[in-house]
Amino acid sequence: MNLIKILLLSLCLASCLKTTEEIQKESQADSPVIELDQSKIMMSNLINKNKEMEEQIMLLHGKIDDLKYSNTTKSNEATGENTEQARIDKLEIDFKNLKDEVEKQREFIKKVTDNLVIIQRSLQKR
């Protein structure tokens, strides 16, 4: 009698448990959706960062123009010219570096977008 109770109990417990295969299927089904959500968040953050960098570039460009103008209108004192020219040179380098960074961000965003499209298509086929 005890043996029957033990067998029935173990049969009930075993039938309630998910198989390893079922668990793997569920996790695989959830994984692309989670990755897609994370990719969307990352994409949004990158777009915001890209906009901020473009704004910084525009500000630096304006500062460069202002400095060039003020440099041409100031007297031709050697010390004054050297200081202003050094600031202009530094701003031009900063401008170029930001421009390069924005281009890298654009390339990265394009890659992420392409990957998101691939993931979305694969999810739609399911």
- Domain edges within the chain: 30-125
Spatial CA neighbour of 108 closest among 62, 58, 67, 50: 50
pLDDT grade, residue 103 (50/70/90)? Answer: very high
How far is C-alpha 107 from the geometric centre of its chain's CA atoms?
11
Structure confidence by residue, pLDDT tens digits, 24-50: 676 666 666 677 788 888 888 888 888
Q: What is the pTM of this model?
A: 0.41
Q: How confident is the model at residue 50, as a pLDDT?
A: 87
Residue that is written with structure tokens 């959706």 in the block: 33
CA separation for the pair 28, 122 (Å, rounded): 13
Which of 56-60, 61-65, 101-105: highest mean pLDDT?
101-105
- Cα-atom radius of gyration of the chain, to the nearest Å? 31
Angle value at C-alpha 94, between 84 and 52, nearest 5 degrees: 125
